[in-house]
Amino acid sequence: MSRKKIVAGNWKMHKTLEESMALTTEIRGMVRDELRGDTQVILIPPFISLAGMARLLEGSAIAIGAQNCHWEDQGAYTGEISAGMIKSTGATYVLIGHSERRMYFGETNEQLAAKTKTVIRHGLKPIFCVGESQQEREDKTYFKVIEKQITEGLFHLDRKEFSSVVIAYEPVWAIGTGLTASPEDAQEIHHLIRKLVANYYNEEIADALSILYGGSVKPENAAQLFAMADIDGGLIGGASLKARDFIEICKAAR
């Protein structure tokens, strides 16, 4: 299996510019000194830190990503940030459709489909997030929910466009709660996602797709999750704000 292992740290609305630079410096040193193998490490800070961090990380293998992006290239959208602006900072990834964006900002699959298209057109790579709520897990409708998120959010892309997509499965009930999906439960969904992609595109594209797990990943549970056949790394929230925890999770992805 040749697909890329990825560990991405989603800093959410944490860290001032100064704090971001300090944490980045710390992580950069640990990645250089301790990380072996070719796991792709991605840091996803608030927008204000992107450019500074990109400069700080020049010559390092760590990539930078943004947490959101507008679907239009420019215009009267006060408070929004475009893909071109993100690209100009040196970032290469963009999170699309994080459950907090869906939940608190009402982002719809239709908007996320447009964002994904725009991000790819600008040569950036989307990390497209999907996941079910606690209720949907209890009702056992989670397969359907995830299928709909993927179908409506991604399947407008052609094969070439889709090849730059990373998918993150993040069960909403596991985000920031300390509850983690068991490796087997997570594997079941990752496998389903890969099957959907194989059926719609083809086996080769599905095989090359990195699917990350997110939701209370910690140094203590990362290795078991990442050992599953279809789990290719993680999208880390809380634990990515501590350099030591984050690097231990990165090491577990080998």
Q: How far is the CB of 234 from ligand PGA (least distance, A)?
A: 8
190 tagged catalytic: no
Residue 60 main-chain phi, psi, to 5 deg: -100, 165
By beta-carbon proximity to ligand PGA, the closer residue of 170 and 230 is 170
Q: Which residues pair with 10 in a beta bridge?
A: 44
Q: Give 146's Cβ-side CA count (13 Å radius).
A: 28
Q: Least separation, in Å, of the C-beta of 174 and ligand PGA?
A: 6
Instruction: Judge whether 170 counts as a catalytic residue.
Output: yes
Distance CA 194, CA 233 (A): 15
**What is the nearest approach in angstroms of ligand PGA to the Cβ of residue 93?**
13
Write down the catalytic residue from 132, 136, 170, 248: 170
Q: Is the Cβ of residue 53 or residue 175 nearer to ligand PGA in the bound state? A: 175
- CA distance linking residue 12 with residue 98, whole number of Å: 10
- 28 is written with which tokens? 């950069």
Considering the complex, state which of residue 98 and residue 194 has its C-beta at the smaller distance from ligand PGA: 98
Cβ atoms within 10 A of the Cβ of 204, count?
Answer: 11
**Residues in contact with ligand PGA by the rule CB under 6 A:** 10, 170, 175-176, 214-217, 235-239
Among 98, 100, 107, 136, the one annotated catalytic: 98
What residues act catalytically?
A: 98, 170
